[in-house]
Amino acid sequence: MKISIVGGGPGGLYFALLAKKRWPDWDITVYERNAPDSTFGFGVVFSDETLGFLDDYDNPSYEAIRRSFAYWDDVHVHYQGQVLKSGGNGFCGCSRLTLLQILQQRCRELGVTMHFNTEIEDEGQFSDSDLIVAADGINSRIRQNHEDWFQPQFDWRRNYFCWLGSSREFDAFKYFFQETEHGVVIAHCYQYEPGRSTWVVEMAPETWQGLGFDRMAEDEYTRVLEEIFDEELDGHPLIANRSLWRQFPMIRNRRWVKDNIVLLGDSQHTAHYSIGSGTKLAMESAIALFEAVESRPTDVDQALAEFEDNRRTEVEITQHAADVSLSWFENINRHWGMDPEPFAFALMSRAKKLTYENLQLRDQSFVDRCNEWFVRRERERGFEVADDTAPMFTPFRLRGMTVPNRVVVSPMAQYMAEDGMPNDWHLVHYGSRAVGGAGLMYTEMTCVSPDARITPGCTGLWNEAQRDAFRRIVDFVHQQSDTRICMQLGHSGRKGSTQVGWQRMDHPLPEGNWPIYSASPIPYFEGESQVPIEMSRADMDRVRDDFVRSAKLAEEAGFDMLELHMAHGYLLASFISPLTNLREDEYGGSVGNRLRFPLEVFEAVRAVWPEDKPMSVRISATDWKEGGLSDEELSVVARSFRDAGVDLIDVSAGQTVPDQKPVYGRMFQTPFADKVRNETGVATMAVGNITTPDQVNTILMAERADLVALARPHLSDPYFTLHAGAWYQQPDVEWHRAHGAGRFQAYRNAEKDREELTDLRIQTRPRSHEVVEEPAGSGEGRGTGRAA
């Protein structure tokens, strides 16, 4: 087999040495445009987990690498004159040049041919090669030659950054935050060899321009940065090495393989430096490519197909984490001004991999400090909170209503009503979840008129009989639990007169359809759904009055809180989104015009809803489609409702159009709640694929939301909150007196289960690869073998 590798970076070299080690008789050649001792930048970072992979696949290079690394366990966050320390992270840094030299030497030992100072313009010269690996970097010439096939996507991120070095040594990974008159400047710093550290400095474009960096030479802006970080440098200089200002390109390719050509490393994918090194991702991809070739050594086509199939998901997960991480730094102003504890916790948990419990496992003292801050703040708000109370079990006040904890049963359509009437099913459904301990519980979207229903099975609140049926439920909740209950009112709009959820959801009824309305006459499914009636002013008056009538009935039924549904493409949402509102009158066009009718409804309802009872609105923060609601418009929507007197914004997303392209993942809508809360000052509720108490505590501790709503977890476990109380051994979580014996058993079993799980997690954590030099005569330095 003849393999030609274009690009002598870490990914290309590592694949070369693995392949040559496995098949010594194969002809493997690396072509690199630069000299063997040329490199740009300073250090690279690996985790203990990645070093473990390197040890598994080639021990000699692993040993050389780990003996050249500077190792650290702690992350230090320097913010507002304080230093918050989080241990147990297990990272190490190495000079990029040293890493390349180690891999080059290993390739020589194994017999890999390497050509340096060799520019490859066209892979046609490798026509006799069985496999061509395009590891030629961000500006890959080979990828460019076949751009129509690979279809690369470049997402040039907002912040400007540059790589610098310093002679300042560190014993931890350091985040430095300095506020200048033009904005915040951030430095990501770590030591990579004795007497040398990497400084990645980044800032918003406005800050970069305000400081004049767009007009300065390298030596000039280096001096300015030395002044900004004078205290942190402690007398040491910054060192430049082609330290140019750039904006990070997030690169994705629709395809990775063309015939016998495969992309590898930065030509294939990039990941932002804030979650580690792109070198890590490149070398892990090199391992995956090697595994694929090893499984199909005589069938290159199949090997490359398996490589892309098996590796793509992992790369996309890493890139998504990188997207979330870099967004935190891009939006630093959103978090600036927080107290140090939530700021540091938000920084550590920004990419979602590190959570409340994971950070406890790594460094209990760090989480304890954050928890102490959270408890202290709640006491300052007038609540009696025990020292060891987890964030999710602290109370929260909205106007005259106080919920006993931050867990919310999210609105969930049941489709079990007849003529809008709630029945025994709803009593059991809501009653069991109230007894299950949630602080607040929402009804399913309850419709304000017969033609406002989504399906024939939806609940309604347009008459006294429905009011009385709901009062039966509310009375049970109040008599048998401390849960507060919120009525969610809505109108289906163009998504009405459809089949129930377990049939063809969002599709029209086979028969018996009723007229539907929307901001504009656009059907949900073109050619299949009904064309909605564009609302006239008279229609608006009728619908507004329907909401007012239902709000009065909700008050008579005894509900503690009221929410108006303005999300998911339903009627009020259809006015807000530019995808569904094409009106040319005063209710269409600008976001201010599109908000006119939703705000009118809110204000009319607020006027009849009791002053001491809170109101919320549910919004779709994005439509997940180009041309939909923008980030800037989301801010306008949130501020408009804040100014109108809303107490809480329930931040959901999407479901506006059927061809949406959502970006799913754990807690995937939480960043929108974070944006609304911390940019507008209004309380928010996070919702969307939040499944565990650990995630609830993570969101709350990072101040990304004030309440956390869970839907499906409450379907599978009505006692979610009580079980979480047992898991965290919370003494003040009350169980219904009829279930007292179950509480004792749940707490006893949970304590044992958590101890066992913690022990298992400790045992399965990657081992430390730090070299510990032993006294003379006792043998060579070796890894500590401890979990890190």
Active-site residues, by number, are: 570
Please give the backbone phi and psi of residue 88, each rounded to the nearest 5 degrees, phi first: 75, 25
Q: 461 to each of 470, 487, 620, 781, how far by Cα in Å?
A: 9, 10, 24, 74
As given in the structure block, the two tokens for residue 641 are 């409702």
Cα 749 versus chain centre, distance: 32
Q: β-strands 27-31, 82-86: how paired?
A: unpaired
Rounded to 5 degrees, what are φ and ψ at 616? -130, 165
Measure the CA–CA gap between 346 and 702, rounded to whole angstroms. Answer: 4
At a CB cut-off of 8 Å and minimum separation 6, what does 668 contact? 662, 688, 689
Strand 446-447 to 533-534 pairing? unpaired
Tokens (6 digits) for 135: 């590891």
Cβ pair 141, 33 in contact under 8 A: no
H or E, element range at 4: strand 2-6
Q: Which residue, among 359, 221, 362, 252, has the nearest Cα to 695 in the 3D structure? A: 359
Is the CB of residue 69 less than 8 Å from the CB of residue 46?
Answer: yes
Task: Could you list the beta-strand ranges (E) of 73-194.
Answer: 75-79, 82-86, 91-95, 113-115, 131-134, 152-166, 173-180, 183-193
Give a three-class secondary structure readout of 630-664: CHHHHHHHHHHHHHHCCCEEEEECCCCCCCCCCCC
**Radius of gyration over every alpha carbon of the chain, rounded to an integer in angstroms:** 29
φ, ψ at 349 (rounded to 5°): -100, 10
Q: Rounded to whole angstroms, what are the CA distances from 582 to 579, 587, 589?
A: 7, 9, 7
Neighbours of 131 (CB within 10 A): 22
Between vectors from CA 644 to CA 640 and to CA 646, what angle results, nearest 5°?
A: 95
- Work out the number of other CB atoms within 10 angstroms of the CB of residue 163: 21
Distance CA 426, CA 459 (A): 10
Reading the block at residue 564, the tokens are 């108006």
* CB crowding 274-300: b at 16 or more within 10 Å, else e: bbbbbbbbbbbbbbbbbbbbeeeeeeb
